[in-house]
Homo-oligomer: A and B are copies of this chain.
Amino acid sequence: MAQFNAGILGATGAVGQKFIRLLQNHPWFEIKALGASGRSAGKPYSEAANWIESTPMPDSVKDLEVRNCISSEFKDIDFVFSGLDSSVATEIEADFAKAGIPVISNAKNYRTDPTVPLLIPEVNPDHIEMINKQRFTADGSGWIVTNPNCVAIPLTMSLKPLYDAFGIHSVVVTSLQAISGAGYPGVPSLDILGNVIPFIGGEESKIREEPLKLLGKLENGAVVHASFPVQATATRVPVINGHLLTVNVKLEKTPADISEISKAMKSWTSPISELGLPSAPKFPLHIFEDERYPQPRLHADSEEGMQTAIGRVRSGDVMDVSYIAMAHNTIRGAAGGAILNAELLAEKGFLR
């Protein structure tokens, strides 16, 4: 696989820093450019960023001069990862796409755009064909691909085997979300220490809507969304990393026995498992038998933070099945997911 020169937009923020940490020593992608706000532009990255990752800032980025997030300053770059804040992502990402620089974005802005893939490689890799409908450039060289919300990812990963095997009638879900999901400085400690906050602004609509696009069928290059209602409650808990979900699902076809549901989850195989993508977890889904698991502090880092862990699969009296799902919200649920998206796109020849 050829080497690509990658840029990072929003490089000084929490997501940007996670991109930098995860791309350290990446076999395909090399960070060549870092973009941030005008306040940081012109400074060496080591000076512009308030580094919050626990591992040290990689030497390879310390001296990179931070650029403005303008496409004309990134002409030497093959594609960019975007960790931009949603308040600025709409315009900046379009600017890059129009300039022929592909954007692999973690921002929410284009997730609902009918020509933009909302992508989890293990769930809907075929959706990347939507790119061909994008019209940012005449020759198709500039485009945008997005990854889902950090709760939508483990939710959809866990629903996928059930959707394929039984169909889904409806979902009731509660999320217990880690503080890292709010970025930095994010949640004030006085709000969350020894406490639960039963509300996260804007989160529940994403949990309701994104799984439907992700599980949708591609027809003539466009996605026909799946159609089932999701009722969601999003809460914040004093956990560093790892969003945990309690999920209840009513299926279209109720299996005779709950064990068939576990079996469907365990026997599910990722459609990209043969591609050898560097960041793809060996086991994208892990089903725990121990009813105490998964737990965010113990299991969020499994498979380099790219695994979705499932536990407590059991039948219910209201809906067919209840279970726990959990994944690392800033790796699988954000920067790591975007990197895996880029790897799939590179492998499929969309990055050139």
Contacts and interface: CB of A to CB of B under 8 A. Distances in A.
Given A189-B192, A317-B208, A301 B180 contact: no
A190 B231 contact: no
B185 A239 contact: no
Contacts of A246: 174, 198, 233, 235
Contacts of A298: 54, 195
Contacts of A316: 172, 229, 231
Q: How large is the interface on A (under 10, 10 to 19, 20 to 34, 35 or more residues)?
A: 35 or more
A40 to B, nearest CB: 19
* Copies of this chain per assembly: 4
B196 A176 contact: yes
A18 interface: no
A39 interface: no
Contacts of A296: 195-196
Interface string A142-164: 00000000000000000000000
Interface in A166-214: 170-172, 174, 176, 179-180, 184-199, 208
Interface string A230-241: 110101011110
A171 B239 CA distance: 28
B190 A188 contact: no
Contact of A244 (B172, B192, B196): B196
A297 interface: yes
Contact of A187 (B54, B189, B195, B229): B189
Interface of A: 52, 54, 170-172, 174, 176, 179-180, 184-199, 208, 229-231, 233, 235, 237-240, 244, 246, 248, 250, 291-299, 301, 311-312, 316-319, 322, 324, 326
